[in-house]
């Protein structure tokens, strides 16, 4: 059996199992936005598939460029999942209001630039900007717009001068300041899952007290869920001597501004 045949069989089994999944989260929806990035398509599809296998209802949205480049292919790859569909452009606002989070498995530099300028002149930028305005979690794979990313280097898009690269980094930082969660493509599904496990934590929650409580992790691994819980409570995360922290948790702590204290 070839590797290609093996992957085909595995995916077919997953598709058939997926028809029996999703009951426990059938009321929780995720909007998956594909912008016109050219980095990480295969992994981006895998991340959306993972979200579907978690039982979420997923509504796909494509920018005009993304729809022309790979929209048909993405729909074909995910089309057998019963909890997947296309977002209706006429109902984008109501769909966004119902959404648990917005995931962007492929982030283009064009989309980054629009958001930084608060431009919402198409469906994708409209959804992303208003998701932030509504305090929805917006999880983005940054590789497509990261001047230091391996994906852009592989495509030869890493030869711009220092000023250009610095402008790209500043735009990504501004998105973080706006409340976007920037992560690697391979971590999109896990990050969405972490928000789901903690009640749809948003970026705009206010501290309920002037006194900052603490969450202590002893002799175990601190996860992204622990970071989100600390953020929700306005707490510091204290790591005991034997405690470890996952890369995703450390990345989220930095982006959400959660204080980490190592004893």
Whether 161 contacts 112, CB under 8 Å: no
Q: What is the pLDDT of residue 7?
A: 66
The answer to whether 22 and 55 have CB atoms below 8 angstroms apart is yes
Q: How far apart are the first and last CA of the chain?
A: 52
Share of the chain above pLDDT 70, in %: 84
pLDDT at 211 over 90: no
The C-alpha angle with vertex 218 and arms to 214 and 222, in degrees rounded to 5, equals 75
> Is residue 82 within 8 Å of 107, Cβ to Cβ?
no
Per-residue burial over 207-227, b = 16 or more CB atoms within 10 Å of its CB, e = otherwise: eeeeeeeebebeeeebbbbbb
Q: How far is CA 230 from CA 137, 160, 204, 239, in A?
A: 16, 39, 14, 12
Indicate the pLDDT class of residue 216, thresholds 50, 70 and 90.
confident
Q: What is residue 112's predicted lDDT score, i.e. its pLDDT?
A: 97
Residue 255: per-residue pLDDT: 84
| CA-based nearest residue to 17, from 56, 52, 48 | 52
CA–CA dist 149, 135 (Å, integer): 28
Q: Is the pLDDT of residue 171 over 60?
A: yes
Mean pLDDT, rounded, for 165-171: 95
CA distance 133 to 241: 40
Mean pLDDT rounded to a whole number for the chain: 84
Q: What percent of the chain has pLDDT over 90?
A: 48
In our burial notation (b when 16+ CB lie closer than 10 A, e otherwise), range 18-47 reads beebbeebeebbbbbbbbbbbbbbebbbbb
Residues 167-189 have a mean pLDDT of 92
List pLDDT tens digits, range 36-74. 888 889 999 999 999 998 889 999 999 999 999 999 999
- Collapse the DSSP code of 184 into the 3-class scheme (helix H, G, I; strand E, B; otherwise coil) and give the result: coil
**More confidently predicted of 209 and 118:** 118
Three-state DSSP class for residue 245: strand
More confident: 23 or 237: 237
Q: Is the pLDDT of residue 154 over 90?
A: no
- Residue 164 in this model has a pLDDT that exceeds 70: yes
Q: Beta 236-239 vs 29-34: how paired, if at all? A: unpaired
pTM: 0.73
Residues paired with residue 236 on neighbouring β-strands, in sequence order:
214
- Predicted confidence band of residue 223 (pLDDT cuts 50, 70, 90): confident
Strands 244-245 and 221-222: parallel
pLDDT in tens, 7-34: 667 666 665 555 545 445 557 899 999 9
Q: Please give the order of strands across the beta sheet that includes 260-262.
A: 214-217, 236-239, 260-262
Do the beta carbons of residue 131 and residue 120 sit within 8 Å? no
Rg of the chain on CA atoms, in Å: 19
* Domain annotation for the chain: domains and CATH numbers: 3-197 (3.40.50.1950), 214-262 (no CATH)
DSSP H or E stretch at residue 106: strand 99-106
Whether the pLDDT of residue 212 is over 80: the answer is: no
pLDDT for the residue numbered 222: 86
């Amino acid at each position: 059996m070839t590797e290609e045949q093996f992957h085909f069989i595995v995916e077919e089994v997953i598709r058939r199992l997926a028809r029996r999944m999703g009951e426990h989260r059938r009321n929780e929806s995720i909007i998956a936005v594909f912008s016109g990035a050219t980095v990480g398509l295969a992994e981006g599809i895998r991340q959306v598939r993972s979200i579907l296998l978690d039982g979420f209802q997923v509504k796909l949205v494509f920018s005009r460029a993304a729809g022309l480049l790979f929209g048909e292919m993405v729909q074909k790859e995910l089309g057998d999942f019963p909890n997947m569909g296309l977002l209706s452009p006429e109902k984008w606002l109501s769909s966004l209001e119902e959404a648990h989070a917005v995931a962007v498995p492929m982030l283009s530099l064009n989309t980054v630039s629009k958001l930084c300028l608060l431009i919402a002149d198409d469906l994708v930028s409209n959804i992303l900007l208003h998701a932030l305005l509504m305090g929805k979690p917006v999880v983005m794979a940054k590789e497509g717009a990261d001047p230091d990313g391996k994906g852009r280097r592989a495509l030869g898009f890493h030869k711009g001068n220092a000023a250009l690269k610095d402008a790209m980094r500043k735009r990504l930082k501004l998105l973080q300041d706006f409340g976007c969660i920037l992560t690697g493509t391979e971590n999109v599904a896990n990050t969405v899952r972490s928000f789901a496990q903690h009640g749809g934590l948003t970026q705009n929650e206010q501290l309920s007290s002037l006194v900052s409580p603490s969450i202590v992790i002893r002799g175990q691994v601190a996860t992204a869920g622990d970071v989100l819980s600390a953020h929700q409570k306005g707490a510091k995360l204290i790591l005991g001597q034997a405690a470890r922290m996952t890369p995703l948790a450390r990345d989220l702590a930095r982006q959400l501004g959660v204080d980490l204290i190592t004893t």
